[in-house]
Chain A
Amino acid sequence: MQTPEKLTRTRRADEPRSKRLARETPPGGAAGHTESSHEHPHPLVALDYRVRVPAMLIVALIGIAHFVDKPQGAALWMAIVFTGLVWPQLAYLIASRARDSKRAELANLLFDSLVVGCWTAATGFSVLPSLMMTSAIIAACLSVGGVRFTLWAVASLVSGMLAVGALTGFHVVPETSLLTTCLSVIGTFAFTSIFGFHSHIQTRRVVKARRELTDQHRQIQDQYTIIERALQSALDSNDAVRQANQAKSVFLANMSHELRTPLNAILGYSEMLMEDASARGDSEVVSDLQKIQSAGKHLLGLINGVLDFSKIEAGKMKLFLETFEVSKVIEEAVNTARPLVENNGNRLEVRCPADIGPMREDMTKVRQVLLNLLSNAAKFTQGGAVTLDVWRENRVDGNWVYLKVSDTGIGMTPEQVSRLFQPFTQADAATSRKYGGTGLGLALTQKFCTMMGGDIEVESAQGKGSAFTIRLPGEIENFDGEASSVRVSTLTGMKLTDIAGPIPLPGGPPKVVLVIDDDPVVLDLMQRTCSKAGYRVIATRSGEDGLRLAREKSPDLITLDVVMPGMDGWAVLEALKKDKAVGRIPVVIVTIADERDRGIALGASDYFVKPVDHEKLMSALSRIRRDRVA
């Protein structure tokens, strides 16, 4: 009658095992076990049951052996039968049905003690049986319930002894019969064996469970390491992607700048020459110069298109909302497009209700998309008709303005339509050669429409013509009506969100950052990022100049590159920190040289290694500035 307490301790770590144990242990047919409506009974119940059945049988047999040659009554036999056969089953039934099976089982153990106490007194406190029974019950209680519980069990044991002792007048039988002695010896032997065996099994289980736990722990750690590595590599690649994207934006901005500068000269000089030539009446030269002009303008269109694309993709394209008369924009676009349309021998028809009314949108972009569609129609139609239909619809999902441009031109195959809105793909290469164009117009048109909260649809039949329908909201919602404020739409989501321009720094006029870096690209990037964050930027490409500007302008912050021709960043930092007038200006090193300790030792407030995460840099700048103010 024992169950090592340890089992209950390992239960949680080894849940499936203990549950299986409980399930595997049948209660014995006699008790008529029915499935408990509660969760599985505590494993203790089953274990005790297995010990209780033989133990109580031996107690009963000792009783029989003691009373076999003495006068007995029916009550005694009933007590013997109850102890040996009924009680173990009853105990199991009670415990397994109880809401708290462990508590019920402990109560059973207390009753066991009482029963043992009774039988000890009843068998006249014979040495061997008493020793066997009491030591067994105390060992079991100690093992299952601990010292405090055992004290209760001893009390219960003594109560039994006293109760029955009072009945028998504490009749003591010092000598025992051979049968009783044998039973006691067998009982002691059996109990010790069972106890030992269970201890062995429990120890093995604990050891095994612990080993499994260690394995699981190791596995979890391995998995954790794998996850951590994966996370790190994801972060790394995310970083790399962001840097690459940033590099791309910078590259495009610079490319646009670099291309525009010589183009400015080409267009300017050719225009000057054209003025001279037409003044001289040299028409042949004029026409050649016109070709240079138009080629230059085409190139400019390409650059602008690419720039628009990069701006849209970087989420930098802004919407400037205003309320305007739809008919006014239609008129302007039609006037611009009419010569183009009529050049190809086409008729241009416009069907727009006079009372179409106003709309609230980015007027320039509406005009631009309309112009794109009209010039597109004109380009691909010869001696036909280009029609512009404008109407307004009130639908459940809002008020919409429709602009439909249809033509009787060459049309497109479904395959061509499917590639229509991709940048740099016209219907096909041959079309491109024949009709010219940048291949960006429709792709941009679509992006603009999406930005403005609308969409574009195309129907086309090869050889019969095409029709493009733009749908735009009559009024963009949730706009506060401030003429100066700007709505920014990122193309990732259709929802428009307010961005109040550059994020203002708290308090006072803009703070001045002096950026010292010999790399013009970095300078440019830093200038943009800093001014976006609300700083005013002074930039210089040389250390000497930086030192001078620091003294002249006394900026609020300085960012400093290390590797520079002439005076390097270390020398600048030292000179700055030595100078009383500027020594207190915080300096943030931004460099490719990873010598943080040296920088901090020389007095830098923070240190960033290129490529720099500009968000982090900006938050460091504002933190340093705050600290300084504080």
Chain B
Amino acid sequence: MSKILIVEDNELNRDMLSRRLSRSGYDVVLAVQGEEGIAMAESEGPDLILMDLSLPVIDGWEATRQIKARTSTASIPVIALSAHALADDEDRARKVGCDDYDTKPIEMPRLLGKIEALLRRRPSL
């Protein structure tokens, strides 16, 4: 079972997303803030990270940059999630190393497609 780390500060969205991913058969771990996300990427070693971009203190872009900068976590695929839906957000997300990008509200089939595509690409350990 693949493990997905969700970094999301909004409680409702975190809960909803985690439950829906659990139903789809993923093992889900949760982080609320950017720092926590970076730490858990290291400690939990997830197969994929769903990163909300607008996080307080350390935002999603910065958190992703740090995750991609550490050798231990650099290979974990990151999908950026944003409610802003502005092209700028996506450009910036791709620049800091996000592997894919999706906008909120989340369309589950679309997001699952992106997750599966990235997991397939990753060599299984």
Show the binding face of A for B, using Cβ within 8 Å: 253, 256-257, 260-269, 271-272, 275, 296, 300, 304, 307, 311, 316, 318, 501-502, 520, 524, 527-528, 531-532, 536-542, 545
Contacts and interface: CB of A to CB of B under 8 A. Distances in A.
A460 to B, nearest CB: 33
Given A264-B104, A275-B23, A541-B56, 15 more contacts: A256-B83, A261-B10, A264-B12, A265-B10, A268-B17, A268-B105, A269-B12, A304-B85, A307-B85, A307-B86, A528-B88, A537-B61, A537-B62, A538-B58, A540-B57
Q: Which of A267, A304, A501 has the most CB of B within 10 A?
A: A267
A564 B57 CA distance: 14
Contacts of B91: 501-502
A300 B57 contact: no
A271 to B, nearest CB: 6
Contact of B104 (A260, A527, A545): A260
B19 interface: yes
B24 to A, nearest CB: 10
B13 interface: yes
A256 B108 contact: no
B105 A531 contact: no
Contact of A265 (B16, B58, B62, B108): B16
A269 B84 contact: no
Contacts of B84: 253, 256-257
Q: What class of interface size applies to chain B in its complex with A? A: 20 to 34
A307 B89 CA distance: 14
B13 A261 contact: yes
Nearest to A260: B83
Nearest to B9: A261
A545 B83 contact: no
B73 interface: no
Interface in B14-51: 16-17, 19-20, 23
B83 A257 contact: yes
B57 A268 contact: no
A318 B87 CA distance: 8
Contacts of A269: 12, 16
Given A304-B85, A531-B88, A261 B16 contact: no
Contacts, number: 82
Contacts of B57: 540-542, 545
Contacts of B85: 256, 260, 304, 307
Contacts of B106: 264, 267-268
25 contacts: A253-B86, A256-B83, A256-B84, A257-B83, A260-B105, A261-B13, A264-B12, A264-B16, A264-B105, A264-B106, A268-B17, A268-B105, A268-B108, A269-B16, A271-B108, A272-B23, A275-B23, A524-B54, A531-B92, A537-B62, A539-B59, A539-B62, A540-B57, A541-B56, A541-B57
Given A263-B105, A501-B91, A268 B16 contact: yes
A257 B105 contact: no
A141 B92 CA distance: 86
Q: Which of B17, B23, B86, B106 has the most CB of A within 10 A?
A: B86
Nearest to A267: B105
Nearest to B89: A528
Secondary structure class of chain A's binding surface, majority of residues: helix
B19 to A, nearest CB: 7
Contacts of B58: 538, 540
Contacts of A502: 91
B19 A272 contact: yes
B105 A538 contact: no
Nearest to A266: B105
Nearest to A532: B88
Given A257-B83, A531-B88, A540-B57, A262 B62 contact: no
A263 B20 CA distance: 16
A513 to B, nearest CB: 12
A505 to B, nearest CB: 14
Contacts of B61: 537
Given A272-B20, A539-B59, A541-B57, A265 B13 contact: yes
Contacts of B20: 268, 271-272
A261 B86 contact: no
Contacts of B56: 520, 541
Contacts of B12: 262, 264-265, 269
Q: Which of A261, A262, A527 has the most CB of B within 10 A?
A: A261
Contact of B13 (A268, A304, A501, A531): A268
Nearest to B65: A536
B105 A300 contact: yes
A532 B13 CA distance: 29
Contacts of B13: 261, 264-265, 268
Contacts of B17: 268
B80 to A, nearest CB: 14
Nearest to B107: A267
Contacts of B54: 257, 524
Contacts of B10: 261, 265
A451 to B, nearest CB: 14
B92 A261 contact: no
A542 B57 CA distance: 8
A261 B17 CA distance: 12
Nearest to A523: B59
Q: Which of B17, B61, B83, B105 has the most CB of A within 10 A?
A: B105
Contacts of A253: 84, 86
A318 B90 CA distance: 13
B30 to A, nearest CB: 15
A261 B83 contact: yes
Given A256-B85, A318-B87, A261 B104 contact: yes
A514 to B, nearest CB: 11
B1 to A, nearest CB: 20
Nearest to A539: B59
A321 to B, nearest CB: 14
A621 B88 CA distance: 21
The 4 A-B pairs at the shortest CB distance, nearest first, are namely: A260-B83, A264-B105, A265-B12, A268-B16
Contacts of B65: 536
A528 B103 CA distance: 18
A581 to B, nearest CB: 20
Nearest to B83: A260
B71 to A, nearest CB: 19
Contacts of A527: 59
Interface in B73-109: 83-88, 91-92, 103-106, 108
